[in-house]
Amino acid sequence: MTNPSSLFAVIQLAGKQFLVEEGMSLIVPRLKTEEGEKFVIPDVLLVQNDKACSVGAPTVVGASVTAVLDKQQRAPKIRVATYKSKSRQRRVLGHRQPESVITIEKISLKK
């Protein structure tokens, strides 16, 4: 975070929690959204601004975060090697996790 006194929120997206602020770009698990498309994240767990902090139980009522999907990509390849002694059995597998890059546009809190 750049400035601790600015507006930020904790959101839940794809089963994970992220601390976000406006203008921030982050990598999340793959979303079923088209590139360049705006979407609203209704699962806001906490909103903090200069004056007050709103904590949800489990979510903050009236709070939402607007984001835009920048691109779909795949994470760097990880290699998984298995080895069994005495039988000379070796196997190497690779895996690339699909992920999405999003940019947070607006954090809104209706009172």
Tokens for 49, please give them: 């601004």
Domain residue ranges of the chain, discontinuous segments joined by +? 8-109
CA pair distance 33, 27, nearest whole angstrom: 14
HSE toward the beta carbon, residue 8, CA cutoff 13 A: 12
Residue carrying structure tokens 């691109």: 71
Residue 3 confidence class, pLDDT cut points 50, 70, 90: low
Sheet of strand 53-55: strand arrangement: 16-21, 8-13, 44-48, 53-55
Percent over 90 (pLDDT), the chain? 77
Note the pLDDT tens digit of each residue in 52-69.
Answer: 888 988 889 989 999 999
Per-residue pLDDT for 105 more than 80? yes
- The whole-number pLDDT of residue 1 equals 46
Residue carrying structure tokens 């940019």: 103
The verdict on pTM exceeding 0.75 is: yes
Average pLDDT of span 13-30: 94
As a dihedral over the C-alpha atoms of residue 78, residue 76, residue 24, residue 13, rounded to 10 degrees, the angle is: -50
User: How high does pLDDT run on average in the chain?
Assistant: 91
